[in-house]
Structure 1
Amino acid sequence: MSSPLFLCILLVVFGSYLSITAAGDGHFRHKMSAPRRLQLGCMYVSVTPLPNRAGAAVPLVHRHGPCAKSQSTDKPSSFADALHRSRVRADYIMSRSRATTMHEQEKGKVSVPAYLGTSVDSQEYVVTLGLGTPAVEQVLLLDTGSDLSWVQCAPCNSSDCYGQKDPLFDPRKSSTYAPIPCGSDVCKTLQSNHLDNGCTMNGTHSQCGFRVEYGDGSKTKGVYSNEALTLAPGVVIQDFHFGCGYKQGGPNDKFDGLLGLGGAPESLPVQTSAVYGGSFSYCLPPVSSGTGFLALGAPSNASGFSFTPMTHFVDDATSYLVKLTGISVDGKQLRIPRKVFEGGLIVDCGNIISHLPSTPYEKLRSAFRAAMTAYPLIPSDDGDTCYNFTGFSNVTVPKVALTFTGGVTVDLDVPNGLLLDGCLAFADSGPDDYVGFLGNVQMRTLEMLYDVKGARLGFRAGAC
């Protein structure tokens, strides 16, 4: 089945740009061109993005990229800002399995749970889906570190809801909307997954309440609900459970809500497992490029993928974990004891920068710096690896590859999978054997296939 994707056509952008060519010595050379005017813009076309795909695929874009439907008013993250956000998010996820459920009672209002979630402000990639009947377009942040999906709902005034470009979803105008009763099994699963549940009476009917509060101070609460979710023309998920938010707060910007892709029952992949088998994949495009995709269901022929075993992190049903076994720079394997990788890596598309335990991080940083001695290193109190490329017409960057359990070696895209704001997009996660994170910079241009039933993660190079 063909699916709508964005086709990006260049319109008005000023500044210098990077052209990439492969060098014969195994490096990639980046030519810094003089400032020029480009043509930028996007439009929908109907294409089939994935071969042998029986499921549904939808366009996925960076919220600061040229094809974002609702342009964010904030700027793309600097390395320092991205590093701060990534550390806050990593700290939370590490503590989530030990988190206790909190309750909040508000007289005369929906009784809802409180839940300390990950930082919404760290999310970078969005998809546009249809909610309700008739379907209303909603731009949703993509997050493998969250389960419960939500949108802002009408009626909601400016003090209760933040500004968004699209109209608020109004359940009163949908023929398929229904609040979930507080005594239902669906509502009870919120409690079993640390989201808890609350009840309110609307006439003679009880409704299930929800509350999500994130590490960056943003929050949403409202009614846990049932609705039709349209992925593509003719591809509709009936009875999709989501949060209809009537009171929001914090540093939110332009997006309409969040789409949870974690492993708990509230997530989109688990809710649709009867149809798509629980598998899903995505390809994250570079910031300056066009579109990637989010797909539900596994391809009928996975011959283009390399797979490594995947589990969940401790007793946290949300997070997906893989194990790194080695790193190479410029084609040379770094000498790192395998025991320091025992903690594994949480695969997290909402975490911008990858985090490695101290020994592998320091080995990687040292080898990368050795290959980049031609360029001035910007001094840093935190030991970051950032460069000043001003005045260089050509920049040569070494290849970096990650090897996972089973001998699966993944070449990171150059430069999009390595550099962020001129900095090596890796950070120190702490002592050896600590859990690390595979961030979205390193995922860029790869198709990441989550085969949950098969307990494996697949990588396909050059997918977007």
Structure 2
Amino acid sequence: MASPHLFLCILLVVFGSYLATISAAGDGKQSFVVVSTSSFQTQDVCSTSTSTSTMKPRPNRAGAAVPLVHRHGPCAKSPSTDKPSSFAEALHRSRVRADYIMSRALRGRGTTTTMEMHEQEEGKVSIPAHLGTSEDSQEYVVTLGLGTPAVEQVLLLDTGSDLSWVQCAPCNSTDCYPQKDPLFDPRKSSTYAPIPCGSDVCKSLKSNHLDNGCSMNDNGTQSQCGYRVEYGGGLKTRGVYSTEALTLAPGEVVKDFHFGCAYKQRGADDKSDGLLGLGGAPQSLPVQTSALYGGSFSYCLPPVSSGTGFLALGAPSNTSGFSFTPMTDFMDDGTSYLVKLTGISVGGKQLRIPRKVFEGGLIVDCGNIISHLPSTPYAKLRSAFRAAMAAYPLIPSDDDDTCYNFTGYSDVTVPKVALTFTGGVTVDLDVPNGVLLDGCLAFTESGSDGYVGFLGNVQMRTLEMLYDARGGGLGFRTGAC
């Protein structure tokens, strides 16, 4: 029979091992990241290792890849003159965009939103009734070639829009907003052609409320297809729906690409030369090029302080590095992409949240800045994050935001945040770029439990997001840019 002393020693060893396991899995140091506060600042110089001219092609990919940058980042071709969004500005823009996307989808079903009903009762101005989203919240741009010979165009990236457009000459300062690059001049391109008004391509605009009737060309010999898009942030664009050669990369040219040649604008500035639509409707770039690239595409959004990411058309031949969750259309609107969130963890600890509160799903929206969660998940996340960051002073906020004053700190310890999606796919967000924006927790509340939320571009940063059209899934690959 074993002695009592030997039994006690065995018990202590086992108990000590259990405590060590709990420490590693629960509040272990691996679940926190020490980051320098200097990493929150945008670099002044684009390093050669991250510049657009030295972007390495994505491995195992048969399609085309182009550089992608933040419009305030060090590698932007023509950095925007406006200042990067403060958290308060980003939050406002994200809410405007989210409200508009919801309004667009519900109007497609002939439904009035709760917000609109409230505004009508209060006598406020309702959200515009046409398709589009808030352009002010879009942060990332790509540079493509349009026309023959190709003319560079800097375009905002948007998964919440379908129709691509650029400002076209001739257009005076009262009709078009000022931009750094010369206006695209279709008269100087040998491959430009307006789309006839009676064509099936033109008629397809009507089903998405993008048509603007017909107009005669300059010599009055042909009826041209007019388009119109009105955005929630106040931007309106209209012009001639046209075809043109689109150069993605050397040797990668899309012939007869359908886009809007804009002659009348309102509400924008020099953020870009136009917009590139990546939604799911027929007018978008992925759908138009599905015969070439299969309808799939991916992108990696770099942090503001970093250099270059990428936009790629076509899926990799080997997707073993990705984790996939099912993806569907949002309310059959044909544009937005929807996934289902099932859980959240902070600092390695899974939050206790009933799965039913996630039933509304998340719209995956690279044009939105901040992620929106239903009330219970947001409250649980905010509480856990604040507890983990208790060492740092909170900035008082009327909106109960979670913003910190890091003045005087050379580095800070930030908890990892992970999102779990349908199928058990868990994605660790980049720290700090995928968690913090302007020193604030980059999440907000979308509405009641079960309400639709949004996955914003902050949470996507450094991830390759693969929209697999054939497989109906969204793939995540960490550390891609």
Same-fold call, TM cutoff 0.5: yes
**1:189-204 alignment to 2 at 5 Å?**
189-202=204-217, 203-204=220-221
Find out whether 1:30 has 2:46 as its counterpart.
Answer: no
Q: Could you list the per-position Cα deviations for residues 376-410 of structure 1 after superposition, in whole angstroms to 9, with x for gaps in the alignment? A: 11111111100111112221000000000000000
Query: What is the match of residue 233 of structure 1?
Result: 250
Query: What is the match of residue 427 of structure 1?
Result: 444
Find out whether 1:126 has 2:134 as its counterpart.
Answer: no
Determine which of 347, 357, 363 is the counterpart of 2:374: 357
Query: What is the match of residue 418 of structure 1?
Result: 435
2:42–2:306 Cα contact (<8 Å) kept = no
Q: Which has the higher helix share?
A: 2
Query: What is the match of residue 214 of structure 1?
Result: 231
Shift of 1:36: 11
Distance 1:326 1:77, change over 3 A: same
Q: Distance in 2 between matches of 1:247 and 1:363?
A: 46
Query: What is the match of residue 64 of structure 1?
Result: 72
Find out whether 1:74 has 2:89 as its counterpart.
Answer: no
Determine which of 169, 172, 180 is the counterpart of 1:157: 172
Distance 1:327 1:34, change over 3 A: closer
Q: Distance in 1 between matches of 2:453 and 2:191?
A: 42
1:386–1:422 Cα contact (<8 Å) kept = yes
Q: Could you list the per-position Cα deviations for residues 236-271 of structure 1 after superposition, in whole angstroms to 9, with x for gaps in the alignment? A: 000000000011111322410000000000000000
Which amino acid in the other structure matches residue 135 of structure 1?
A
Query: What is the match of residue 156 of structure 2?
Result: 141
Which amino acid in the other structure matches residue 75 of structure 1?
K
Q: Distance in 1 between matches of 2:102 and 2:41?
A: 45
Q: Which has the higher strand share?
A: 1
Shift of 1:232: 0.5
5+ residue gaps, structure 2, are: 1-27, 110-127
SS in 1 for 2:214: strand
2:43–2:74 Cα contact (<8 Å) kept = no
Query: What is the match of residue 332 of structure 2?
Result: 315
- Alignment root-mean-square deviation, CA: 2.0
1:127–1:141 Cα contact (<8 Å) kept = yes
Query: What is the match of residue 175 of structure 1?
Result: 190
Q: Distance in 1 between matches of 2:343 and 2:358?
A: 8
Q: Distance in 1 between matches of 2:410 and 2:454?
A: 34
Q: Distance in 1 between matches of 2:155 and 2:38?
A: 35
Find out whether 1:290 has 2:307 as its counterpart.
Answer: yes
1:121–1:252 Cα contact (<8 Å) kept = no
Q: Distance in 2 between matches of 1:39 and 1:275?
A: 38
Distance 1:100 1:323, change over 3 A: closer
Find out whether 1:185 has 2:200 as its counterpart.
Answer: yes
Q: Could you list the per-position Cα deviations for residues 335-366 of structure 1 after superposition, in whole angstroms to 9, with x for gaps in the alignment? A: 00000000000000000000000000000000
Distance 1:334 1:444, change over 3 A: same
Find out whether 1:306 has 2:306 as its counterpart.
Answer: no
Q: Could you list the per-position Cα deviations for residues 31-51 of structure 1 after superposition, in whole angstroms to 9, with x for gaps in the alignment? A: 345999976136553553311
Q: How many residues align?
A: 432
1:187–1:197 Cα contact (<8 Å) kept = no
1:114–1:211 Cα contact (<8 Å) kept = no
Which amino acid in the other structure matches residue 98 of structure 1?
L
Q: Distance in 1 between matches of 2:340 and 2:40?
A: 42
Shift of 1:275: 0.7
Query: What is the match of residue 102 of structure 2?
Result: 94
Find out whether 1:324 has 2:332 as its counterpart.
Answer: no
Distance 1:436 1:263, change over 3 A: same
1:132–1:171 Cα contact (<8 Å) kept = yes
Q: Distance in 2 between matches of 1:100 and 1:221?
A: 21
Query: What is the match of residue 54 of structure 1?
Result: 62
Q: Distance in 2 between matches of 1:415 and 1:66?
A: 18
Find out whether 1:224 has 2:241 as its counterpart.
Answer: yes
Q: Distance in 1 between matches of 2:423 and 2:153?
A: 40
Query: What is the match of residue 409 of structure 2?
Result: 392
Query: What is the match of residue 91 of structure 2?
Result: 83
Q: Distance in 2 between matches of 1:369 and 1:262?
A: 36
**1:241-280 alignment to 2 at 5 Å?**
241-280=258-297
TM-score by length of 2: 0.87
Q: Distance in 2 between matches of 1:66 and 1:337?
A: 42
Shift of 1:371: 0.2
Query: What is the match of residue 12 of structure 1?
Result: none
Q: Distance in 2 between matches of 1:349 and 1:139?
A: 17
1:152–1:161 Cα contact (<8 Å) kept = yes
Query: What is the match of residue 339 of structure 1?
Result: 356
Q: Distance in 2 between matches of 1:456 and 1:36?
A: 35
Q: Could you list the per-position Cα deviations for residues 169-204 of structure 1 after superposition, in whole angstroms to 9, with x for gaps in the alignment? A: 000000000000010000000001221341112222
Distance 1:366 1:72, change over 3 A: same
SS in 2 for 1:275: helix
Sequence identity percentage: 82
Shift of 1:161: 1.2
Which amino acid in the other structure matches residue 397 of structure 2?
S
2:40–2:438 Cα contact (<8 Å) kept = no
Distance 1:197 1:221, change over 3 A: closer
SS in 1 for 2:187: helix
Q: Distance in 2 between matches of 1:233 and 1:29?
A: 41
SS in 2 for 1:458: strand
Q: Distance in 2 between matches of 1:227 and 1:134?
A: 11
Shift of 1:217: 1.3
Q: Distance in 2 between matches of 1:33 and 1:276?
A: 40
Q: Distance in 1 between matches of 2:185 and 2:157?
A: 22
**Larger CA Rg, structure 1 vs 2:** 2
Shift of 1:159: 1.3
2:224–2:240 Cα contact (<8 Å) kept = yes
TM-score by length of 1: 0.90
